[in-house]
Amino acid sequence: MGDVNLRQSRLMQRRASRRRRLAAFAGEGLLFLVTAASALVILFIFYYICRDALPFFRLRGFKEFFTGRQWYPSREPASFGALPMFFGTGLVTLGAMIVAGPMGVAAAVCLSDILPFGVRQAVKPIIEVLAAIPSVAYGFFALVVFAPLLQERGGMILSVGALLVGLPLATLLALVLGDALAMRLPHGPRAAGRLGLTALLVLGAWAGLGVLAARLSAVEISSGRNALNVSIILGIMAIPTVVSVSEDALFAVGRELREASYGLGATRAETVVKVVIPAARSGILAALLLGAMRAVGETMVVWMASGNAAHIPEPWYNLLAPVRTLTATIAGDMGEADHVTGSARYHVLFAMALCLLTFCFICNLVSEWAMRRSKAKLG
């Protein structure tokens, strides 16, 4: 009787183990199918965009598209020079990262190493709310509120913006440069020399920013629909991405490095500047790349507030001139090009989409490599 019960118990255990293995296999198979479906969607998007983009390059070649400056798709003969759109996209993205980069990294450092935990828990959701606002709301604000404000009080906005962005960055650079120069002094007067050099460099940076702000306050802006308007709004939209990824990278540095730095006598500022930020630089690079991708792929804001002028500004760095981006061109011309499906005017929009998709894909790969390198470096 005991042997029979033992066999039944073992049989039930085998059946339960088999059911658990089948359930685990089914769960893993389901997750694999979901992951494979996402990858297949990306591959299909690449395939269909390439399928409709390649006919344009067969008809018109590469030279006109990448080097031409004339964009007249409806004229006879048509011109499909997309260089102004590439330039406009790069200009507004660079301007957006000038806004989002210093502010986002500074906010991430503040959240990870300066603010108390309770305050951090209250501040971080407020920053992340910026990512939940629809882009059309940002575009409406840029068009209706910010564009007239730039046109009427552009100089004051430029000077205040230069101070807000430049003061943290200039102070940080002055601290780093002061420490680097002080290391060349003899050991005895090194501490006093470091303090004096840092104070002198900070005051000099602040004085230079004050002169720059004074000059910017005299600038007059003829139209608020320009690259500056779009750059500021895109920078605000990219801040949540930069803050979130940068804070994760800074948090991954761990308490051990911070405590070791404090144990060697370093201050909080020295620990952040010389230990935490260098250790997390790969993650910060990934955050900046993801923020740039956010700015490059935005459509509504640039369509509504950039001015949509298909030419390269004079001089090339003039953010006060209207520009046109790739995404705005695709959104604005697709309605008309859809009536001439199969023509060069139709396929050129897919060529632009292919360039955008390729750029974002490369940035995503680089950001993934940077994150993995950061995690491997920190163990």
Q: pLDDT digits over 285-318, tens only?
A: 889 998 999 999 898 899 999 888 888 888 888 8
Please give the Cα distance from 125 to 121 (Å, whole number): 7
Q: Cis (ω within 30 of 0) for the bond into 240?
A: no
Question: Please, what's the largest Cα pairwise distance for the chain?
Answer: 101
Q: What is the DSSP letter of 192?
A: H
- Of residues 198 and 344, more confidently modeled: 344
Which of 25-34, 36-45, 169-178 shows the lowest mean pLDDT across its residues? 169-178
Q: What is the mean pLDDT of the chain?
A: 83
Percentage of the chain beyond pLDDT 70 is: 89
State which amino acid sits at residue 243: V
* CATH class held by domain 63-378: mainly alpha
Read off the pLDDT band of 3 (50, 70, 90): low
Strands (E), 260-366: none
Read off the pLDDT band of 26 (50, 70, 90): confident
Per-residue pLDDT at 190 exceeds 60? no
72 in helix, strand or coil? Answer: strand
Structural domain boundaries in the chain: 1-46, 63-378
CA angle 111, 116, 121 (to 5 degrees): 65
Q: pLDDT digits over 93-151, tens only?
A: 999 998 898 888 888 888 888 878 788 888 888 888 888 888 889 999 999 999 998 88
